[in-house]
C-alpha cells in the first residue's frame, strides 16, 4: 500500500504507483478534462490558452501542469504560462507583452540616428511574429 495525498484535493488515497498523484475522483475528472482539451486542440490547432480554458473548463494552470508533466503533448498548439520578461504581464507568444514591445520599439526609434537605422528597427521589430498576430 502506498498512501499519498491527492495533489488536487489533498485527500489521502492508495496510490497505484504510476501516473499523476491524484485520487480516483480527481484522476477521472482530470482525464475527462484532458480529453476535452485534446479534442478541442485537434479541431482548433493553435488555439490560445484562455480560449481553450473557456471552451473546455480546464484552467490554464491545469493545462500548464499537464504540459510540464509531459502529459499534454501539444506544445505548438497551445500557448500557456508565458510572462513578459520586462514587466511580468501574462502573454501567449514570444517574450514581451505588446506594451513593452511598443515601448522598446519607441526607445530604439528615438535612439536611431538615421532613416536607414529606423527602417532596420521597423523591419527587426516587425519580424516578431506575435506583433503581427496581435495587432489591435
Ligand atoms: Zn483528489
Ligand atoms: Zn511587458
Question: Does residue 97 sit in the same domain as residue 73?
Answer: no
Question: Does residue 117 sit in the same domain as residue 66?
Answer: no
Q: Does the pLDDT at position 113 exceed 90?
A: no
What is the number of domains present in the chain? Answer: 2
Q: Does the pLDDT at position 74 exceed 70?
A: no
Among candidate residues 48, 65, 80, the one where a domain is terminated = 80
Residue identified by cell 504510476 is 18
Question: Does residue 109 sit in the same domain as residue 120?
Answer: yes
Question: Does residue 10 sit in the same domain as residue 68?
Answer: yes
95 Cα–ligand 2 center, Å: 9
Question: Does residue 12 sit in the same domain as residue 34?
Answer: yes
Region 73-83 average pLDDT: 58
Give this prediction's pTM.
Answer: 0.50
Question: Does residue 49 sit in the same domain as residue 11?
Answer: yes
Backbone torsions φ then ψ of 37, nearest 5 degrees: -65, -45
Q: Which residues sit with Cβ closer than 5 angstroms to ligand 1, an ion?
A: 6, 8-9, 11, 23, 26
Region 7-33 average pLDDT: 90
Instruction: Give residue-wise pLDDT tens across range 87-110.
Output: 888 766 667 778 888 888 888 888
Q: Which ligand is nearest to the CA of 12?
A: 1
Confidence of residue 118 (pLDDT cuts 50, 70, 90): confident
Q: What is the pLDDT of residue 3?
A: 93
Domain encompassing residue 128: 83-133
Contact (CB, 8 A) for 107 and 67: no
Q: What is the pLDDT of residue 17?
A: 86
Amino acid at each position: 500500500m502506498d498512501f499519498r495525498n491527492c495533489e488536487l484535493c489533498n485527500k489521502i488515497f492508495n496510490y497505484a504507483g504510476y501516473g499523476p498523484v491524484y485520487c480516483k475522483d480527481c484522476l477521472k475528472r482530470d482525464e475527462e478534462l484532458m480529453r476535452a482539451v485534446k479534442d478541442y486542440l485537434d479541431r482548433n490547432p493553435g488555439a490560445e490558452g484562455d480560449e481553450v480554458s473557456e471552451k473546455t473548463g480546464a484552467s490554464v494552470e491545469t493545462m500548464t501542469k499537464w504540459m510540464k508533466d509531459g502529459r499534454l503533448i501539444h506544445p505548438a498548439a497551445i500557448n500557456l504560462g508565458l510572462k513578459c520578461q520586462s514587466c511580468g504581464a501574462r502573454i501567449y507568444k514570444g517574450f514581451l507583452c505588446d506594451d513593452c514591445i511598443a515601448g522598446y520599439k519607441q526607445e530604439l526609434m528615438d535612439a536611431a540616428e538615421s532613416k536607414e537605422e529606423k527602417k532596420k528597427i521597423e523591419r527587426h521589430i516587425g519580424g516578431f511574429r506575435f506583433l503581427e498576430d496581435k495587432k489591435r
